[in-house]
Amino acid sequence: MLIHLQAEQWVNSMGDSSDDAKPTVVVLESRPPRLGIGAAVPRQSQTVFSNDPAERRLRAKLDAEKRRKLKNSEASIISAKDGKVDEESDEDESESKTKAFTKKRPAAFPSTLQAKKKK
């Protein structure tokens, strides 16, 4: 009977600490001025830094890759504006392919030539 009373007290105490008893504070994000009705508002994400070394290494790799892609995209935009879209690299590639086909085969070794003549 004692356990039953303790259980009831515990359930009642759990019911008292419901969310209805505590006032909830809602933080509203303000919309930027002159933003249209149907426009999406970008949310400001808050990054929580971890103390886990593996997660920190992965985060560093991810951030480095993002910076590299951003840098490459900016460089390609600048080169596209200048009218030069890596034409030199295409020329070099085609030249290297033609050089590969025009190379002469090495001369046969003298020992193999003599073996063919003796037969």
**Rounded to whole angstroms, how far apart are CA atoms 10 and 16?**
10
Is there a domain that residue 56 lies in? yes
Domain assignment of residue 65, given as a range: 52-76
User: Which two tokens mark 77?
Assistant: 């935009």
* 10-residue mean pLDDT series, the chain (119 residues): 81 67 62 74 69 89 93 84 58 66 61 58
Q: Global pTM?
A: 0.30
Say what the pLDDT of residue 61 is. Answer: 94
Say what the pLDDT of residue 35 is. Answer: 75
The count of structural domains within the chain is: 1
Say what the pLDDT of residue 114 is. Answer: 59
Is there a domain that residue 71 lies in? yes
Q: What would the 3-class secondary structure string for the chain be?
A: CHHHHHHHHHHHHHHHCCCCCCCCCCCCCCCCCCCCCCCCCCCCCCCCCCCCHHHHHHHHHHHHHHHHHHHHHHHHHHHHHHCCCCHHHHHHHHHHHHHHHHCCCCCCCHHHHHHHHHC
Is there a domain that residue 118 lies in? no
